[in-house]
């Protein structure tokens, strides 16, 4: 990441640098995973003419547009875009098995409840939950930074908060889910989600991915934070 940051004192400088690292190698990846799920699920919705109409169509398109715009904003502050793309793609590959396990747990609950289109709706709900997770992770990082350093950095790193994407997707889900209610908070679903959330939160998908990205981009220079007091 390359940003020009302004700081008040040494504590503020340390806070901005540390927060940048967490956002760069943590939050940005959970956002990317969620956006990938949105793209896939939206494609599935668009194939269903009985669903892809009126308010659902509008909100689905808004969510995809917001996701695309967010990707561009994130890329715009990355010093080496090729490195970041290789790195984030590798992380998503590493996380895919856990995300699939989470989605399949949702699908099983829907299937057991004799719900029609269990597979499609499991993709839709998986995307919704991952978006919500990424927003909460961003907010948690910013709240922790404010506690530790006395400053709120949400505005500085706004590119990495998926609030608009989540808002549109969540409203679309409300339209799609109208008329039925199934409790997805089973132990199996919660356990599968906890694995994804914990591993993203702790950066457990990261180490090997950085090594591979470095190998593909040998001229990469570590992220640089320009600061001005």
Instruction: Determine the Cα–Cα distance for residues 17 and 227; give it in Å rounded to an integer.
Output: 9
DSSP H or E stretch at residue 227: strand 224-228
Residues near 223 by beta carbon (within 8 Å), at least 6 away in sequence: 1, 2, 20, 21, 24, 79
Q: pLDDT tens digits for 173-188?
A: 999 999 888 999 999 9
Higher pLDDT, 80 or 208: 80
Residue owning tokens 């570590």: 222
3-state SS assignment for residue 224: strand
What's the whole-model pTM score?
Answer: 0.88
pLDDT band, residue 227 (cuts 50/70/90):
very low
Confidence band of 98 (pLDDT split at 50, 70, 90) = very high
- The whole-angstrom separation of Cα 161 and Cα 132 is 10
What are the helix (H) ranges across 77-162? 81-112, 118-149
Number of H helices, E strands in the chain: 8, 2
**pLDDT the model gives residue 15:** 92
Q: Where are the domains of the chain?
A: 2-228
DSSP state of 101: H
**Which tens digits make up the pLDDT trace of 11-60?**
998 999 889 888 877 788 899 999 999 999 999 999 999 999 999 999 99
């Amino acid at each position: 990441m390359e940003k020009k940051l302004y700081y008040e004192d040494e504590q503020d400088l340390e806070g901005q640098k540390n927060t940048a690292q967490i956002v760069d190698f943590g939050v940005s990846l959970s956002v990317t995973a969620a956006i990938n799920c949105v793209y896939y699920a939206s494609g599935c919705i668009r194939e269903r003419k009985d669903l892809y109409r009126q308010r659902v169509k509008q909100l689905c398109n808004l969510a995809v547009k917001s996701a695309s715009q967010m990707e561009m904003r994130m890329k715009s502050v990355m010093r080496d875009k090729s490195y970041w793309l290789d790195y984030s793609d590798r992380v998503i590959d590493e996380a895919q098995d856990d995300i699939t396990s989470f989605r399949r747990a949702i699908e099983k609950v829907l299937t057991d409840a004799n719900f029609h289109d269990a597979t499609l709706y499991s993709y839709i709900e998986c995307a919704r939950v991952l978006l919500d997770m990424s927003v909460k992770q961003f907010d948690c990082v910013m709240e922790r930074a404010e506690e530790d350093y006395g400053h709120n950095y949400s505005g500085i790193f706004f590119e990495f908060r998926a609030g608009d994407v989540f808002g549109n997707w969540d409203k679309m889900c409300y339209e799609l889910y109208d008329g039925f209610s199934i409790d997805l908070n089973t132990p199996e679903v919660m356990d599968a989600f906890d694995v994804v959330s914990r591993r993203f939160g702790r950066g457990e998908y990261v180490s090997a991915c950085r090594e591979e990205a470095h190998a593909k981009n040998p001229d990469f220079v570590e992220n640089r934070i320009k600061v001005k007091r």
